[in-house]
Amino acid sequence: MITKEINLYEFDELTDKVKEKVRENMNDIVNMDWHDFVECDFIENNKENGYDIKHIYFDIGRGNYAIFEADFDIEKFCNSQEVKITPKIQKMIDEGVVITKISCYYGSMSIEYEGDENTETEKLLAKIREFTDELASNLMTNLKDEWDNVNSDEYIDEFIKSNEYTFRENGEMESVE
């Protein structure tokens, strides 16, 4: 039997050049599912506003877009945004306009609905468009901020330290067997 002795180093014990190499190699591990918290918060925080988010799609960097699709509850929206439910809006809720889907591409959107078009409907849809556009903008900002955070040296360093990874002198992570 051959016994070999190797030196293992904690992250802080590595040279700056090796630390940079380790950070680059850790990106795939650190960035796995980085967006989940942003998406979950977005979905949960907008239920009370009448948005039942079904899908979120985004691209940070290349296309710079955030898209979401949602079923929509007019009454919840009106209550959350303190929109007075006039008799015409109540009629839309009860028997008229049913918003079946909202698709918001950062900067533009479509609202699919069934029902009569009238001044009251158009005013309400304008308010919904304005609010939805703000949501998409906030979603994009939050995704970009989280991306920047999880790619920062500080975040990666803390991730490495909290998981107590050890490395060889060249920066190769020691596998736990």
In terms of domains, do 27 and 40 share one?
no
pLDDT digits (tens, 9 = 90+) for 119-138: 777 888 888 888 888 888 89
Note whether 73 and 112 are same-domain residues: yes
Please check whether residues 87 and 43 belong to one and the same domain: yes
Task: Read off the pLDDT of residues 46-82 as tens digits, 9 standing for 90 and up.
Answer: 999 999 999 898 888 777 788 888 888 888 999 999 9
Q: Mapped to the 3 state alphabet, what secondary structure does 82-123 carry?
A: CCCCCHHHHHHHHCCCEEEEEEEECCEEEEEEECCCCHHHHH
115 and 164 share one domain? no
Whether residues 123 and 172 fall in one domain: no
| Residues 72 and 139 both lie in one domain | yes
Which DSSP string do the residues of 135-156 spell out, in sequence order? HHHHHHHHHHHHHHHHTSHHHH
Q: Contact 121/97 with Cβ under 8 angstroms?
A: yes
**Domain range for residue 7?**
1-31+151-177
Task: Classify residue 98 as exposed, middle or buried by CB count within 10 Å of its CB (0-12, 13-18, 19+).
Answer: middle
56 and 110 share one domain = yes
pTM value is: 0.78
Tokens of 36: 């989940």
